[in-house]
Amino acid sequence: MSGGLTTHVLDTARGRPASGLNIQLFRLEDTERTLLKSVTTNADGRTDAPLIARGELRAGVYELVFDVAAYFAASDLPLSQPAFLTRIPVRFGVAGTEAHYHVPLLVSPWAYSTYRGS
């Protein structure tokens, strides 16, 4: 059976999951960029369901876009205007569709990091 795709977001500035953060998932093929899903993180900083369910993941290039400006604008943190980070795109390739892909984002208003998790 094929793998799936999940994500979660951690707010490193406040040391907690990033609840209520909007995420878009795109698939890229040649010059076409197709929106597959728009979701919002739950109280645990995760999505309620996988972005791509087990058995539906296909090889190719994908992009997650995290709307961090709107998320941090609703926080109690002092921020610059305009925000330093607005929308963070994470573009990645899926080669082995049997594996599970987990793409977390660790973010503050001024920095972020990501990796392929398990």
Give the CATH number of the domain where residue 28 resides.
2.60.40.180
Q: Which domain holds residue 105?
A: 5-114
Give residue-wise pLDDT tens across range 63-115: 999 999 999 999 988 888 999 999 999 999 999 888 999 999 999 999 999 99
Q: Within its chain, how far is the Cα of 106 from the centroid?
A: 10
- When the pLDDT of each residue in the chain is averaged and rounded to a whole number, the result is 95
Predicted local distance difference test score (pLDDT) of residue 96: 85
| The pLDDT of residue 78 | 86
Q: What is the pLDDT of residue 43?
A: 98
